[in-house]
Amino acid sequence: MLQRDYTTSQLDVLEAEAIHIMREVAAEFERPCLLFSGGKDSIVMLRIAEKAFWPAPIPFPLMHVDTGHNFPEVIEFRDRRVEELGARLVVASVQDSIDAGRVVEETGRRASRNRLQTTTLLDAIEENEFDAVFGGARRDEEKARAKERVFSFRDDFGQWDPKNQRPELWNLYNAKIRKGEHIRVFPLSNWTELDIWDYIRREGIEIPSIYFAHSRAVFERDGMLLADNPWITRGDDEPLFEAVVRYRTVGDATCTGAVQSSAGTVEEIIDEIAATRITERGATRADDRASEAAMEDRKREGYF
């Protein structure tokens, strides 16, 4: 007698949950969008969106909040992937916000445009009248995100207030908002970095080459390896040297660090992550090396 295996894997459960969330948003909201930077989390979100609505096209646009300080490999991948899908990409430019006087660019050795993204993001949400925004944040990244709901309510100033967050019982989500308010939606909330990579391996998903080991000119700052680029100011005590590195996460090139690694395949990356005890953001994001209270303040401002 033929025996059938109806066992559901952890990845299947996570994928099904994320698909349910995406379909719920598509049904409940008028103008959702998906934040897509070309990083691994947004790439996985995009694959799940494909599956959620296949064979129809993805029923909402993609948006990238562009600091202008990008890794070329990631932007090339972003544009190519958007073209393959025939999707609409909205690029919200931090440079445009600076030129319009909406934000003031930081100066000095540790200047970064990363925090300036908040104003650019909120302006783009208002301009395009988006009422739901998919983000790739995961609860395992750091403590401020661990407190986040799947449907994260934001007021008409784009701010997060813990007292205004809705209970989420039995995977039931409250999508009720007034005009000007919106919901940040995190379908990957219950995933870990290792889950992301296991899913990339299982699905055979293409990712930017920057995630694999390669030789790059870097310098050390605060225990992190930062790449030499036109937007960063090095001190006399920060000499350049060549190292074999890869990136665990990608963002603004002025504050995203590399890690020394020889992992050149997805399987080798999975083995590496399984052995590490430092989160990807703690290891590679200079802007995230802040106290829990500081991260809470940034969330209240609408940062993520």
- Asked if the structure places residue 54 within a domain, the reply is yes
Q: Give the pLDDT confidence score for residue 132 in this predicted structure.
A: 96
- Are residues 84 and 233 part of one domain? no
Under a CB-based contact definition with an 8 Å cutoff, are residues 105 and 98 in contact?
yes
Give the residue from 116, 128, 109, 44 showing the smallest Cα distance to 81.
44
Note down the domain range covering 263: 207-287
The two tokens of residue 302 are: 């609408």
- Are residues 79 and 40 part of one domain? yes
- Are residues 169 and 114 part of one domain? yes
- Asked if the structure places residue 2 within a domain, the reply is no
The two tokens of residue 225 are: 């390896």
- Are residues 119 and 47 part of one domain? yes
- Asked if the structure places residue 53 within a domain, the reply is yes
Burial class (CB in 10 A: 0-12, 13-18, 19+), 155: middle
- Are residues 183 and 108 part of one domain? yes
Q: What is the CATH number of the domain that holds 178?
A: 3.40.50.620
| DSSP symbols for 121-148 | HHHHHHHHT-SEEE----TTS-HHHHT-
Domain count along the chain:
2
Give SS3 for 274.
Answer: helix
- Are residues 214 and 142 part of one domain? no
Give the residue from 190, 187, 191, 123 showing the smallest Cα distance to 151.
187
What is the spatial distance between Cα 143 and Cα 115, in angstroms, rounded to a whole number? 19
Whether the predicted pLDDT of 300 surpasses 70: no
- Asked if the structure places residue 3 within a domain, the reply is no
Q: Give the pLDDT confidence score for residue 110 in this predicted structure.
A: 83
Task: For residue range 157-175, list pLDDT tens digits in order.
Answer: 889 888 888 888 888 999 9
- Asked if the structure places residue 1 within a domain, the reply is no
Q: How large is the average pLDDT for residues 258-284?
A: 85
What is the spatial distance between Cα 284 and Cα 194, in angstroms, rounded to a whole number? 16
- Are residues 246 and 122 part of one domain? no
- Are residues 174 and 71 part of one domain? yes
- Are residues 150 and 222 part of one domain? no
- Are residues 217 and 189 part of one domain? no
For residues 157-189, one letter each, b for 16 or more C-beta atoms within 10 angstroms of the residue's C-beta and e for the rest, the string is ebebeeeeeeeeeeeebebebeeeebbbbbbbb
Higher pLDDT, 242 or 296: 242
What is the spatial distance between Cα 237 and Cα 221, in angstroms, rounded to a whole number? 9
- Asked if the structure places residue 199 within a domain, the reply is no
Question: What angle do the packed helices 10-28 and 40-53 form, to 10 degrees?
Answer: 70
Residues 6+ apart with CB under 8 A from 241: 217, 218, 219
Give the residue from 45, 96, 88 showing the smallest Cα distance to 66.
96
Give the residue from 147, 157, 138, 134 showing the smallest Cα distance to 28.
134
Pairing of the two strands 32-35 and 62-66: parallel
Q: How large is the average pLDDT for residues 295-299?
A: 58
Whether the predicted pLDDT of 96 surpasses 80: yes
CA 262 to chain centroid = 24
What is the spatial distance between Cα 105 and Cα 115, in angstroms, rounded to a whole number? 10
Task: For residue range 198-240, list pLDDT tens digits in order.
Answer: 999 999 999 999 999 999 999 999 888 999 888 888 888 889 9
Whether the predicted pLDDT of 178 surpasses 80: yes
Q: Give the pLDDT confidence score for residue 222 in this predicted structure.
A: 86
